[in-house]
Structure 1
Amino acid sequence: MDNGGNMLAIILFAPLFGSLFAGLFIFRKKFIFSAVIPIICLIVSLICVFLMLPKFFTQEHYKEVLSITDWIVTGRFSIDFGFMIDGISMIMILVVLIVSLLVHIYSIGYMENDNCFNKFFCFLSAFVFSMLFLVMSDNFLGLFIGWEGVGLCSWLLIGFWYHKNTASFAANEAFVMNRIADLGMLLGIFMIFFNFGSVKYDIVFSDALEISEFSLTLIGILLFIGAMGKSAQFPLHTWLANAMEGPTPVSALIHAATMVTAGVYLIIRSHPLYDLIPSVGIFIAYLGTFVAIFAASMALVNKDLKRIIAYSTLSQLGYMFVAAGLGYYWIALFHLTTHAFFKSLLFLGAGNVMHAMEDELNITKMGSLFKPLKYTAILMIIASIALSGIYPFAGFFSKDKILEATFLEGHYDLWIVLLISAFLTAFYSFRLLMLVFFVPKNHNSHPHEASNLMLISMLPLAILAIISGFFEKTFHHYLINYLSIKDTQIDYSILVILIITALFVAVSGILLAIFIYYKKYKINNIHSNIVYKLLLNQYYIPRLYNTFIRTYKAISDFLWKEIDLKIIDYVVDCIANSFILAGNKTRKMQNGNLSYSLMFMICGIFAMLVILLLLF
């Protein structure tokens, strides 16, 4: 194994070592090294990444590969435990490790008084390892193993406080919803092997031109179904908001660096396939646009602090899928990167507010928290400005590129809808800030600022939320060697108009939110408004799903009681009872009584004579 292979192995397996170490103390009282060792392991991984990074800038199409051992060898199918770091996965690894490291540090303060402190860090580091396994695999089957590992860890962490029924339900819902989507992805992998004879990226992508358009379209659709589940795209979206039942650091990790970003990564990783099936890409873009405004509209009226941010994630994922669907994969990856920083910052800030308010989540029961939570407020304002797409914060650069790409492609309908979504995003982001920090006090709590450790862990995210957008050209130049890059050149005057329009829309949303809530302006009878009720009840989609589930359960109960028990079980029991009865009757043949034996012999002879008479 060369030096690059050693580095790759350390990057991948260091978080697993941290998880296993914390797992040794899973049933013991709080042990601080259960957090320290996983954090050190993440730092070691991150150092290795930075040591490898210069080669990706200086050498074209550079990648590092590692083959550990044979995995499956049967018939014409052969696959090994192979891993790879190229330009695409390097970006994802950086995002995962940076955000995960800061979330781990933050969690020391957040989970300080939790009885399951050690277990939490065991699960959290396993989550990071699973995501790295997914990202670094050099084949679709290895990606699927990491994909399922991420699903398992999310189930463990969303339901971490399993004594709460809501947490257990949310964990199960996320797990089941993703299993539905994963069936589609697994079928897609089967189709890849059936058509290509391999699941390794290099072989599949190099031979893609030789496969029929129908097969490629089917593969693209099936893979996207898997992405829909992981990235919570409509109609497999309901689990994302309910996943807020887990500890807040988990929410930050799921929404910023792991789990939901996996679906976007799958589309970007499979870009040589999607380049050949633009019709599927258009569908992805239209669905992403719908999800962007669909989720933003629900965030407008929601009162739950974390759910509002969760809907924001769902909306931004829609933007990413729009860019990927239109073939602007580097822009999708760029927005994924910038979004990771300001979204994790928002969630960690929400964790500070929850601690200060004794786990209260209803933002209408807060207010006047700016003074006691000044640093948290400033950090969340930075994140919200970035999310709203205001210059010079990161969200301005990445979100604006998606709007430009949509306009450049001539999809003006998508551009208008995304602009409306941007307005809604700015409005609900500052609605949250106003109700939490600036409106008059509406609680009896005695809030306090988070610990210095928690605030310090948030500071790098705030810096990245401000400056990461300025690396747009570097990002673009870096990915030219690894992605199919569409030309985004646009007339300068049109570009200026697009930028001014986007900024005007975002600023208008912010100012409207400030005006409504600072002036305590109220819309008459809003709570009885049909649209308000529709948004508050998530378009009644969860109720529709519950109705379907109840109907399915009622049918299942009927089949169980009336068909299974009364018919199938009855028939089986009758057959069994007949054998038991026959056994009881014939048992006397073996009791040693000569009279019974003679009687059975006579009966047997009589039966044989009867059969002979009938036959002849």
Structure 2
Amino acid sequence: MGWVDSIDIGTFACLLFVVLFAPLLGTIVAGVLGTRGKIVGVGWFNSFCILLSFLASVVLGFSVLQGVSFSVSLFDWIVSGSFAVDFGFSLDMITAVMIVVISLVSLLVHIYSIGYMHDDEGFNRYFSFLSGFVFSMMFLVLSDNFLGLFVGWEGVGVCSYLLIGFWYHKHSANFAAMEAFISNRIADLGMLLGIFLLFWSFGTLNFQEIFSAIRGDEMQLSSSILSWAGILLFIGAMGKSAQFPLHTWLANAMEGPTPVSALIHAATMVTAGVYLIVRAHPIYMEIPHIGEAIAYLGAFVALFAASMALVNRDLKRIIAYSTLSQLGYMFVAAGLGAYWIALFHLFTHAFFKSLLFLGAGNVMHAMHDGLDITRMGRLVRPLKYTMIFMLIGNLALCGIPPFAGYFSKDLILEFSFNTEYKVLWGLLVFGAFLTAFYSFRLFMLVFFSPKSSEAYAIDHPHEARPLMFYAMLPLAVLAIVAGVFYDPIISALKYIAVFEMPHGHLSAESLAGIALGASCLGIIVAFFKYKNFTYTPSRNFFYTLLSQQYYIPKLYELLFSKAFGVLCRVLWQKIEILVFDKSMQAVGKVMMWLSAMCAYLQNGNISSVLRLMVFGILLLLLSLLVSQLVFVR
């Protein structure tokens, strides 16, 4: 155990709280100064808080590699009858991988943002939201129970809403923020129902207690209950990871600042769905039929998203579709039971995809926020350093050795082939070809293709600030070397569950060669197609279908937005106006009549009062007479 033996659990618990609460400190400080003018120190202070979180995460990560795992409870959170939840957190290998990735990418994005948001009036507010997101994400992955995970889950949703709609003066940003928020709330209802079902079935929400009961021989729970729980939890994962049919919000979320896309929509929040499946793997191991459905959906999404990226002209949206496609790969691995391979691809993907988004931010900086890649071209000389970084990211994304994506993506392909899911393997290999093609389509159109007549009229495009490159450099290095962490990560994960790669008819080298051939073919086709490409609008059916995202957004608008608007209008006209409004008006009229009648009793006229008294006496005598007659009979 080495140096780990000299550290007690209390020290590890303190480090865990540094990981969790250091970003919260930055959120509070930046939030207090949010309404003031730009203070550069806010960005550096928040970056320092994330640095503390990262250093503590690294120490905890090394300790986990030495076999350390623990849980710690701060206090009783909710105690109501048989329902009791602690404010508790835990550390194991799954958690360690996540907090290292989150803290490292967050640190680099914070530093990059100091340069990127340098001239923005909402500088302080931006860093408050960004650090708040990091705190929520840490809360999500460190919680030792489903309720804590759900609180963090909702926290990242709120911060995502605030960051996507950061430039709230833009209608498109407001719409994108609302779409992301509502889409995720729909999915979160399913997740919440799954959590309720787990508590009803097990009487607890603690991960270890639920998983121990599932693994135990005495478990009497029917598989249908677990199936429903798995389905409902996955619905939540579908929303957060933008899986079909809840995928439309991810591309529109590019309305937020580019560093937000690098953090939220590449490395952290959108991977929370994969994390949930990996965390709840004891449940899904008992319901492999549900896992198989997840895998097939993931393969579909991998191709579905890649196909839309083939024709898209928006720089950030293409990378967003790439993220969606790679999430499909992760869900294939998780659905087939290769949870650790899914986690490993999540690990490597975070670095090269963040690098690509930050590279896109540099291009936008040079293009004065222009995003149309067909209006760029020949940027290789003025943006040569950005070109190198984006080349590294693209090669890693395409799975070209020795870059990180080669090690993780090929493991998914190898596992799917060797577990007799050769249809999935074939789809994913084709997806690798599409990934290579659209990645280098973007690369060629931005940096090498001739400028079109509609090119942005920017005379002297220039590189971003040096600080932004310093933040990108570690990501570039990790996009190259992150694959070497496979053995220690998988070895440590075996403390949680045993995992062995199955063997099939083809060797790992042969399968890797096939996937590499598909990727190289995609790169070659893109290179020759776009090296001298001049953009001309296409009107063929497939181009239109893909550019319109299979008309799914329009279908949603028709079925939900407009149909809901019509329903609301009918209810307003037929129910609210004719029933509720008329009812309220009738009540008012009755009260006015009663008040007019009562006003006669209080007019102050003695003659009127005497007449009323006489009328009252006569009425009383008449009632007595009637009662006597009835009584005598």
SS in 1 for 2:244: coil
Is it true that 1:421 corresponds to 2:434 in the alignment? no
Report deviation, 1:260.
0.4
Match for 1:133 among 134, 139, 151? 139
Is it true that 1:80 corresponds to 2:86 in the alignment? yes
Corresponding residue for residue 4 of structure 2: none
Corresponding residue for residue 50 of structure 1: 58
Corresponding residue for residue 580 of structure 1: 592
Is it true that 1:545 corresponds to 2:556 in the alignment? yes
After TM superposition, list the pairs within 5 Å mapping 1:357-436 onto structure 2.
357-436=367-446
SS in 2 for 1:82: strand
After TM superposition, list the pairs within 5 Å mapping 1:234-313 onto structure 2.
234-313=244-323
Q: Deviations over 1:384-435 (max 9, x none)?
A: 0110111111111111111111111211111111111111100000000000
Match for 2:601 among 550, 575, 589? 589
Unaligned runs of 5+ in 2: 1-8
Report deviation, 1:74.
0.7
User: Take 1:562 and 1:613, find their aligned partners in 2: how far apart are those partners?
Assistant: 49
In structure 2, relative to structure 1, the CA distance for the partners of 1:120 and 1:600 (3 Å cut) is same
Letter of the 1:458 counterpart: M
Q: What is the percent sequence identity of the aligned residues?
A: 55
In structure 2, relative to structure 1, the CA distance for the partners of 1:610 and 1:131 (3 Å cut) is same
Corresponding residue for residue 169 of structure 2: 163
Corresponding residue for residue 440 of structure 1: 450
Letter of the 2:598 counterpart: T
Match for 1:557 among 560, 569, 575? 569
User: Take 1:257 and 1:3, find their aligned partners in 2: how far apart are those partners?
Assistant: 28
SS in 2 for 1:84: strand
Report deviation, 1:51.
2.2
Is it true that 1:462 corresponds to 2:476 in the alignment? yes
SS in 2 for 1:79: strand
Report deviation, 1:598.
4.8
Tell me if structure 2 keeps the 8 A contact 1:329–1:484. no
Unaligned runs of 5+ in 1: none
Corresponding residue for residue 95 of structure 1: 101
In structure 2, relative to structure 1, the CA distance for the partners of 1:498 and 1:595 (3 Å cut) is same
In structure 2, relative to structure 1, the CA distance for the partners of 1:594 and 1:509 (3 Å cut) is same
Corresponding residue for residue 365 of structure 2: 355
Is it true that 1:187 corresponds to 2:187 in the alignment? no
User: Take 2:230 and 2:620, find their aligned partners in 1: how far apart are those partners?
Assistant: 69
Letter of the 1:561 counterpart: Q
In structure 2, relative to structure 1, the CA distance for the partners of 1:87 and 1:587 (3 Å cut) is same
SS in 2 for 1:392: coil
In structure 2, relative to structure 1, the CA distance for the partners of 1:195 and 1:608 (3 Å cut) is farther
Match for 1:450 among 453, 464, 470? 464
Is it true that 1:511 corresponds to 2:521 in the alignment? no
Q: TM-score, normalised by structure 1?
A: 0.96
Which of structure 1's runs of 4+ aligned residues deviate more than 4 A? 598-616
SS in 2 for 1:114: coil
Tell me if structure 2 keeps the 8 A contact 1:288–1:319. yes
SS in 1 for 2:374: helix
Q: Which has the larger radius of gyration?
A: 2
SS in 1 for 2:312: coil
User: Take 2:624 and 2:297, find their aligned partners in 1: how far apart are those partners?
Assistant: 74
Corresponding residue for residue 335 of structure 1: 345
RMSD: 1.9
User: Take 2:77 and 2:529, find their aligned partners in 1: how far apart are those partners?
Assistant: 60
Is it true that 1:499 corresponds to 2:509 in the alignment? no
Q: Deviations over 1:573-614 (max 9, x none)?
A: 212321221122122223343443455456666599689979
Report deviation, 1:519.
4.0
Corresponding residue for residue 234 of structure 2: 224
Report deviation, 1:143.
0.4
User: Take 1:520 and 1:587, find their aligned partners in 2: how far apart are those partners?
Assistant: 88
Corresponding residue for residue 479 of structure 1: 493
User: Take 1:521 and 1:498, find their aligned partners in 2: how far apart are those partners?
Assistant: 37
Q: Deviations over 1:218-274 (max 9, x none)?
A: 111110010000000011110000000000000000123221011110110000111
Corresponding residue for residue 205 of structure 1: 211
Report deviation, 1:113.
0.6
In structure 2, relative to structure 1, the CA distance for the partners of 1:6 and 1:137 (3 Å cut) is same
Tell me if structure 1 keeps the 8 A contact 2:57–2:103. no
Tell me if structure 2 keeps the 8 A contact 1:434–1:518. yes
User: Take 1:150 and 1:462, find their aligned partners in 2: how far apart are those partners?
Assistant: 26
Report deviation, 1:441.
2.2
Report deviation, 1:335.
0.4
SS in 2 for 1:450: coil
User: Take 1:203 and 1:132, find their aligned partners in 2: how far apart are those partners?
Assistant: 22
SS in 2 for 1:477: helix
Deviates more, 1:86-95 or 1:209-218: 209-218
In structure 2, relative to structure 1, the CA distance for the partners of 1:611 and 1:58 (3 Å cut) is farther
User: Take 1:31 and 1:262, find their aligned partners in 2: how far apart are those partners?
Assistant: 32
User: Take 1:611 and 1:139, find their aligned partners in 2: how far apart are those partners?
Assistant: 75
In structure 2, relative to structure 1, the CA distance for the partners of 1:607 and 1:226 (3 Å cut) is farther
User: Take 2:243 and 2:289, find their aligned partners in 1: how far apart are those partners?
Assistant: 18
User: Take 2:476 and 2:505, find their aligned partners in 1: how far apart are those partners?
Assistant: 31
Corresponding residue for residue 528 of structure 1: 539
Tell me if structure 2 keeps the 8 A contact 1:343–1:383. yes
In structure 2, relative to structure 1, the CA distance for the partners of 1:484 and 1:540 (3 Å cut) is farther
Q: Deviations over 1:115-157 (max 9, x none)?
A: 1111111111111000000000010000011001000000110
Report deviation, 1:57.
1.7
Q: TM-score, normalised by structure 2?
A: 0.93
Letter of the 1:543 counterpart: K
Q: Deviations over 1:258-302 (max 9, x none)?
A: 210111101100001110011110111111111100000000000
Letter of the 1:263 counterpart: G
Aligned residues: 611
SS in 2 for 1:527: coil
SS in 1 for 2:51: helix
User: Take 1:464 and 1:125, find their aligned partners in 2: how far apart are those partners?
Assistant: 23
In structure 2, relative to structure 1, the CA distance for the partners of 1:586 and 1:383 (3 Å cut) is same
Letter of the 1:225 counterpart: I
Match for 1:18 among 6, 19, 26? 26
SS in 2 for 1:182: helix
Report deviation, 1:93.
0.2
In structure 2, relative to structure 1, the CA distance for the partners of 1:602 and 1:425 (3 Å cut) is farther
